[in-house]
Structure 1
């Protein structure tokens, strides 16, 4: 099992607006480049930068793996941008907590700030979130893939890291498994399949000022981790008065072991 630090090519083609209506199954068997984004957490500043970066990549579709809400108070703008870009969305654990508030302890609520999100989102928005799936299985260009927020056997709450034991997944019928939740990106080949963690757009936990997303290419069978600079000054100006000190600490984190390549 070996972690892969692939590069991102930001010079090929344009994504004018991601098409809607997954599962995406081209009839001509043409190769597909799939963008995978996750864990925006109400940070519309970071999302806007990443959508701009995605627009410079040659992608056929973009999928959102959950956690549009929590931590930052920009969830209304986040949902509007995801919908405007026609990005297919699914639930993460924070959507589950948003819809089931009795499961959130006071200590966690102090950091997550989901009560505020619940108050700002109207019933129509909550209904749309409620209809997001928790897991999706797709066939694209002959490749079987599964999309979850956490892990294949725990779609919302599971945690998979680059050093996790993946042997329990060796018999799964997928060519690639896409996930997020940990806010730590990686790509790994194990047991004949790809495991791809897209990381976090809104609150990375390795390098706080570098958002992360992934790109999967069915032609090469490989995935890439892309990093996008986040204007943390603007994030603090817009949201600083309404976020927990733990969130501020994560924005300021630095690492000597950066996964992925920074897009200019």
Structure 2
């Protein structure tokens, strides 16, 4: 089996909870779709956990911004500040490790892993597959991929998604377990480990079971207060993170509308 995780964003507590569940399920291969760092306050520790777990990692846009491979143009102010903060706190070895991560790779002849999209060749880590038109372009790239694999795992949107293309028609699945067809192509997004942007604040990941021919969705519970306290102490949390939830939620929507 293969566990697919994404968008950890330096949230150590969430990552540890997810890795513990993956160990409990005795899953041998872990694939991380990038954005290991950014936003939260434990970048070194998250890198260390992934390296110790021998996870197969892809570079995300935050990872590449921290290493200076791309600029923070287009990042919201909070994200750009976290990039600068993170860069100053990583060791040269950690920066080199991030910089060496590929943008795309094929895993066990089962799936191709990317952060943002399978298209285009350049800047793919910045593309969000958040529209039917963009997903169709990546489906076309998947169908033409020289590896012949039929599954592309992507992250970046922080939203769970399993999309199937069969005979030119695309279906979005909402079931927790999706049975794979031999004549279909799939775009799958595990959601986010450490930076939720939906009403469900739990970390999530996907499990590809080739023997059963299924993709399954998992959610994990953890105490987010410790991570938030560290992030707030580092000056990386929005001011409204201190407020009670009935006030914080509408303010979060306003903040997101302003900074993206």
TM-score by length of 1: 0.74
How many residues end up aligned between the 2 structures? 218
Shift of 1:243: 2.0
Whole-angstrom CA distance in 2 between matches of 1:201 and 1:153? 24
98-107 or 185-194, larger mean C-alpha shift? 98-107
Which residue of the other structure, out of 86, 89, 92, is the alignment partner of 2:54? Answer: 86
Residues 159 and 221 of structure 1: CA distance in aligned 2, closer, same or farther (over 3 Å)? farther
Shift of 1:248: 3.7
Shift of 1:227: 0.8
**Residue 193 of structure 2 aligns to a residue in which SS?**
coil
Residues 106 and 215 of structure 1: CA distance in aligned 2, closer, same or farther (over 3 Å)? closer
Q: Give the structure with the higher percent helix.
A: 2
Which residue number in structure 1 is paired with residue 209 of structure 2? 217
Residues 182 and 138 of structure 1: CA distance in aligned 2, closer, same or farther (over 3 Å)? same
Shift of 1:42: 0.8
Which residue number in structure 1 is paired with residue 187 of structure 2? 195
1:121-159 deviations in Å (ceiling 9; x for gaps): 01111111111111002343xx4x210001100431121
Which residue number in structure 2 is paired with residue 243 of structure 1? 236
Residues 186 and 120 of structure 1: CA distance in aligned 2, closer, same or farther (over 3 Å)? same
Q: Given that residues 78 and 238 in structure 2 are in contact (C-alpha distance below 8 angstroms), is that contact kept between their aligned partners in structure 1?
A: no
1:120 maps to 2:89: yes
Residues 137 and 214 of structure 1: CA distance in aligned 2, closer, same or farther (over 3 Å)? same
After TM superposition, where is structure 1 displaced by more than 4 Å over at least 4 residues in a row?
162-165, 251-254
Shift of 1:107: 6.8
Whole-angstrom CA distance in 2 between matches of 1:227 and 1:117? 27
Which residue number in structure 2 is paired with residue 227 of structure 1? 219
Shift of 1:203: 0.6
1:72 maps to 2:40: yes
1:89-120 deviations in Å (ceiling 9; x for gaps): 12001111112277224973433411111010
Alignment gaps of 5+ in structure 2: 167-183, 251-260
Which residue number in structure 2 is paired with residue 135 of structure 1? 104
**Residue 205 of structure 2 aligns to a residue in which SS?**
strand
Q: Given that residues 207 and 253 in structure 1 are in contact (C-alpha distance below 8 angstroms), is that contact kept between their aligned partners in structure 2?
A: no
**Residue 153 of structure 2 aligns to a residue in which SS?**
strand
Which residue of the other structure, out of 108, 116, 120, is the alignment partner of 1:150? Answer: 116
Aligned Cα root-mean-square deviation (Å): 2.6
Residues 218 and 244 of structure 1: CA distance in aligned 2, closer, same or farther (over 3 Å)? same
Shift of 1:253: 6.0
Residues 211 and 106 of structure 1: CA distance in aligned 2, closer, same or farther (over 3 Å)? same
**Residue 220 of structure 2 aligns to a residue in which SS?**
strand
Whole-angstrom CA distance in 1 between matches of 2:213 and 2:220? 23
Alignment gaps of 5+ in structure 1: 1-32, 255-264
Q: Given that residues 209 and 232 in structure 1 are in contact (C-alpha distance below 8 angstroms), is that contact kept between their aligned partners in structure 2?
A: no
Residues 83 and 102 of structure 1: CA distance in aligned 2, closer, same or farther (over 3 Å)? closer
Whole-angstrom CA distance in 2 between matches of 1:190 and 1:130? 33
